[in-house]
Chain A
Amino acid sequence: MARYFLRRIGLLLLTVALTSLIVFVITQYLPGDVCRIILGREAGDAAVADCRVDLGLDDPLPVQYFRWLANFAQGDWGTSYSVKAEIFPVVMQRTRNSLMLAAVTLVMAVPLSILLGVLAGLNENKGVDHVISVGSLAVVGLPEFVTGIVLIQLFAFKWKLFPANSSIRVETPFWEALPMLILPALTATLVLLAYIARLTRAGVVEELKQPYVRTATLKGLPRRMVIFKHVLRNALLPTVTVLAISFGWLISGLIVVENVFNYPGLGRLLAFAIDRRDLPLLQAVTMITVVGYALANLLADMAYAWLNPRIRLE
């Protein structure tokens, strides 16, 4: 198991390194001269040339790459062109915000979707199953900006339960921010719900067919024990893996939700950076996203290995 863990970490580092290389190379080949963008179109050639020397843009590529990588690893992520501020603190704040939103989403989504999935699986092809399966499919078919706005209409305007706008500030502590997180988290939950519920349902249906369920039933164990002790731990294996991967999406993939609710997360930051052609910011956010996904994958692998005795005990 320890060897498995170490191998996985090694792969993670390799993934991140390779991605950094790709990110770097791609940004080199984007059209437009970085210095011209900073100084504006009317800048003189001499000014541009000086700027290039300043930023080290005329050095050979490998040198630039390793300089960038070294800086990045040390926390010096440079200065944003558009915001004219240090990138590192900005990205870190946004990461914190995204993490909060992800946490709330998971707390809402996980128990609910697993419960629905188990209910559907236990009642395969009966009424409950049809309602849950079709219902969740319908919901996931709706884009987040639709569900988000509908939720705002209902919960914020009609029933006045939660605020319509979630633009929290840097200093806002978690507990204060919580009411503002509910609606965006709910929107993201609706997306995850169908996915997780269907997966759980399939897992439950599959495991119920296994002979060990018959053994447990014929041992005289009560139904609830058979389901919760015997079936679930096997049925949830694929679900756990997918949940861990979803975590990666929740960190940096919620652009639409963040937009609808005006929530300062990583997704909006990424969109902002792309829009402004802010290369350093873009690179930084991309790298954080990659690290997030890679860690999520690692978590998924480790969870699976831990839960599955066959792999854990090799």
Chain B
Amino acid sequence: MSNLITPVLEISNLTIGYRQPAGWLDAVRDVSLSIQPGQVYGLVGESGSGKSTLALAVMRYLGEGGALRFGTIRFAGRDVYSLTPSELQAIRGTQIALVPQDPFSALNPSIKVGEQIAETLRWHQSLSPQEARTQARTLLDSVRMADPNRVLDSYQHQISGGMQQRVMIALALISDPLLLVLDEPTTGLDVTTEAAILDVFRGLMETYNTAALYVTHNLGVVARICDRVAVLYASELVEDAPTAELYRQPLHPYTRGLLDSVPRLGEDKHHHRLTPIGGRIPHLDELPPGCVFAPRCPLAVELCHTTRPPLEEAVPGRRVRCHRWPEILAGNAPTPEAAAAAPVGEALPAGGMLLSLDDVRVHYPLGRGRLVGAQRRCAPTERFPFARGRAVRALDGVSLTLGRGRTLGIVGESGSGKTTLARAIIGLAEPTSGGIQFSGVSLPRKLSRRPAAILRKLQMVFQNPLEALNPYLTIGEILSRPFIRLLGLPRKEALAEAVKLLAAVRLPEEYAARLPGQLSGGERQRIAIARAFAASPELLVADEPVSALDVSVQASILNLLNELQWARGTAMVFISHDLSVVGYLADEVAVMYLGRVVQVAEARDIFEAPYHPYTEALLSAIPIPDPAAVQENIRLDGEVPGAANLPLGCPFHTRCPRLVGEICRTEPPWQEAGGGKRIWCHIPVAELAAVQGRVIGAGRQVDR
């Protein structure tokens, strides 16, 4: 397919705007790039960067009120915006295809999956229904779909997220397209599923030599799969380079900031401080004059605030939009001051046991017919219907301890039970059996039975700050509530304390009068954290507190959590699916799978062998934001089985690459592996240590 000399896609000075009552709002401003045949081109940006708008505009799909204001998009030499509707229809789905972000809603819930593939085949290739079905089956095979015949006859809600996304990929590949447009295709999938899907991409792109425009905010994924990367910020293209060079030496301060703000595996809070990018992403209708990044740029000078920098070729093949790129290239630019600040100090001295979970189980009995949540048919597993009963076993026997002032990180994918664990500790989920001890006292299971004294000591921060803050209360009122309700302060004093709290989270005093809807995502999460720390709790449960935030903001929230925790001696249970974040912030890490803990280790040891086979697979699946990193390639077959159909014995044995045999169907023992590390596996620790190498090798140093 690559007998083209012209670039597959050529975007020149593209500006896409949306018509507003007050004028035009430009989502993409003056962007130029070109994609060669067979090239995988990454488009990186955060919210508001315009990356999704750009990707869809390439297929001439603009939202309501959207228009191409300036510039051109040429696909295989033809101007996309001059095509007639029938010409456009002819190339969509055949020469240029989309793999969208959320495969669940991208498929029609009322039409069988097989038919949705077959109809495209019949329309574009005039195949007969029989031929179309056979071809659909072949396509599903090429994306390595398990049980393709069943999938063809299923509806979208009957297959898992990973399978849905494979269907979307199969759909995109129907006519061997010249260009694939992928809009965050793996966001929302588990890490292990994402790794498998990325493998499928790579394999297919190599086989078919398809070019791709890969839109994402995940720097790790870009490093793994893209040949070239363009970085977008607030509707503008700020940097554009081959992947390896971009990571080795980013030229634009924004790119540098992004790479600095992501915690790397192996870094911990005691020795490194994350370097966030200050400020917030500007709204598209309040873009600053001059360089769009200047207000947040540590290297900004007078010129940057007044004059918009041109896009220049710094080095052959690399373009950057910055006034100061020559200095940065030469290595003479000053490093951002934040990096020089001292990291959080040494660990607090051990202070005794604070939290202890003893064989906690949370089971939700199943009603007739209806399955709880989105769990679907899984691979056949053994079960004793009478002994086990029909229930969703969200937590199936978890025992953990946490010392005062320490941070316990919980890592797991969907179905692991980590959120249920958080809810059980806080009191939102009642344990079916097992006990939780807090400060030596048994915690009442129900939240309503817990006295105010206990509530004050146990607080929670949730994933989505928009949903966690009452939109009708001002910030001042929100922050006063814990003082009024938990500490019994009168309103005036509570408000005064609330204002002090605002200062502690580095937000200006005026915010007390604002509503949550007027704040950005990161600011809202600061408020939520401030609220949690208001009554000086002894334990904070944080359930994925940064997952819903932009990358550049995550670092500042993690730093904040760290500071507040250290200043007040608060212990923390930190839950995440992101092992690098957990590895950074936690003292101890517990890895969970299907309601059980499979490994516990000190944070620094989690990346060293021996590992539980699941941890090993998890580590090999994480996309690392460093193209030079060496990483094992361990892939798990199939999907996570539903928590209603737990495998017997070790819950991981149905997918374990190191499966021993029949013994794995019995309950594994806990084995000590030295240094506080415990592994729950039948394979002797010594054997694991011998056969497992380091999953992630060191990458090259990044030149600042």
| Interface, chain A (partner B; CB < 8 A) | 3, 210-212, 214-222, 225, 229-230, 233-234, 307-310, 313-314
Q: List, sorted by A's number, 20 A–B pairs whose CB atoms are closer than 8 Å.
A: A210-B105, A211-B106, A212-B106, A212-B107, A214-B61, A214-B100, A214-B106, A217-B92, A218-B93, A220-B94, A220-B123, A221-B89, A225-B119, A225-B123, A230-B108, A234-B109, A234-B110, A307-B110, A310-B109, A310-B157
Q: Assuming A220-B124, A230-B108, A234-B108, is B89 touching A215 (CB within 8 A)?
A: no
- Tell me, yes or no, whether B421 is within 8 Å of chain A by CB: no
Whole-angstrom CA separation of A313 from B159 in the bound complex: 13
Chain B residues, CB < 8 A from A230: 108, 111
A94 to chain B, nearest CB (A): 39
> Once the chains bind, are B370 and A314 in contact (CB under 8 Å)?
yes
Chain A residues, CB < 8 A from B105: 210-212
Chain B residues, CB < 8 A from A210: 105
- Tell me, yes or no, whether B359 is within 8 Å of chain A by CB: no
8 Å CB contact of B89 from A212, A222, A229, A314: A222
**Contact residues, B187-238 vs A (CB, 8 A):** none
Residue on B nearest A314 in the bound complex, by CB: B369
Chain B residues, CB < 8 A from A220: 89-94, 120, 123-124
Whole-angstrom CA separation of A3 from B102 in the bound complex: 33
For the complex with contacts A229-B119, A234-B110, 12 further pairs of A-B residues with Cβ separation under 8 Å are A211-B105, A212-B107, A212-B109, A215-B108, A216-B108, A219-B123, A220-B89, A220-B92, A220-B123, A221-B120, A233-B110, A233-B111
**Contact residues, B78-102 vs A (CB, 8 A):** 89-94, 97-98, 100, 102
> Once the chains bind, are B110 and A3 in contact (CB under 8 Å)?
no
Whole-angstrom CA separation of A74 from B93 in the bound complex: 63
- Tell me, yes or no, whether B679 is within 8 Å of chain A by CB: no
Chain A residues, CB < 8 A from B90: 220
Whole-angstrom CA separation of A262 from B499 in the bound complex: 76
Chain B residues, CB < 8 A from A309: 109-110, 155, 157
> Once the chains bind, are B100 and A211 in contact (CB under 8 Å)?
yes
Chain A residues, CB < 8 A from B119: 221, 225, 229
Residue on B nearest A312 in the bound complex, by CB: B155
B164 to chain A, nearest CB (A): 11
- Tell me, yes or no, whether B59 is within 8 Å of chain A by CB: yes
Interface centre among A214, A216, A219 (most CB of B within 10 A): A219
Chain A residues, CB < 8 A from B158: 313
Chain B residues, CB < 8 A from A219: 92-93, 97, 120, 123, 171
Chain A residues, CB < 8 A from B108: 212, 215-216, 230, 234
> Once the chains bind, are A313 and B111 in contact (CB under 8 Å)?
no
Chain A residues, CB < 8 A from B369: 3, 314
A21 to chain B, nearest CB (A): 29
Interface size on B, residues (CB 8 A): 31
Chain B residues, CB < 8 A from A211: 100, 102, 105-106
Whole-angstrom CA separation of A225 from B122 in the bound complex: 12
Residue on A nearest B368 in the bound complex, by CB: A3
Chain B residues, CB < 8 A from A307: 110
B132 to chain A, nearest CB (A): 13
Whole-angstrom CA separation of A197 from B169 in the bound complex: 38
8 Å CB contact of A217 from B61, B91, B124, B155: B61
Whole-angstrom CA separation of A151 from B468 in the bound complex: 58
Whole-angstrom CA separation of A116 from B97 in the bound complex: 34
Chain B residues, CB < 8 A from A314: 369-370
Whole-angstrom CA separation of A218 from B108 in the bound complex: 14
A221 to chain B, nearest CB (A): 6
**Chain B 36-72 near chain A by CB (<8 Å), digits 1 or 0:** 0000000000000000000000010100000000000
Q: Assuming A220-B90, A221-B93, A221-B120, is B157 touching A215 (CB within 8 A)?
A: no
> Once the chains bind, are A313 and B155 in contact (CB under 8 Å)?
yes
Interface centre among B93, B107, B110, B111 (most CB of A within 10 A): B110
A219 to chain B, nearest CB (A): 4
Chain A residues, CB < 8 A from B98: 214-215, 218
8 Å CB contact of B61 from A218, A233, A234, A310: A218
Residue on B nearest A4 in the bound complex, by CB: B369
Interface centre among A212, A220, A314 (most CB of B within 10 A): A220
A220 to chain B, nearest CB (A): 3
Whole-angstrom CA separation of A234 from B368 in the bound complex: 27
State the 7 A-B residue pairs at the shortest beta-carbon distance, nearest first. Answer: A220-B93, A220-B92, A219-B93, A211-B105, A309-B155, A212-B108, A215-B106
**Chain B 286-315 near chain A by CB (<8 Å), digits 1 or 0:** 000000000000000000000000000000
Whole-angstrom CA separation of A107 from B61 in the bound complex: 39
Whole-angstrom CA separation of A310 from B104 in the bound complex: 13
Residue on B nearest A237 in the bound complex, by CB: B110
**Contact residues, B569-622 vs A (CB, 8 A):** none
Chain A residues, CB < 8 A from B102: 211
Whole-angstrom CA separation of A313 from B168 in the bound complex: 23
Whole-angstrom CA separation of A126 from B370 in the bound complex: 43
B316 to chain A, nearest CB (A): 36
Chain B residues, CB < 8 A from A214: 61, 98, 100, 106
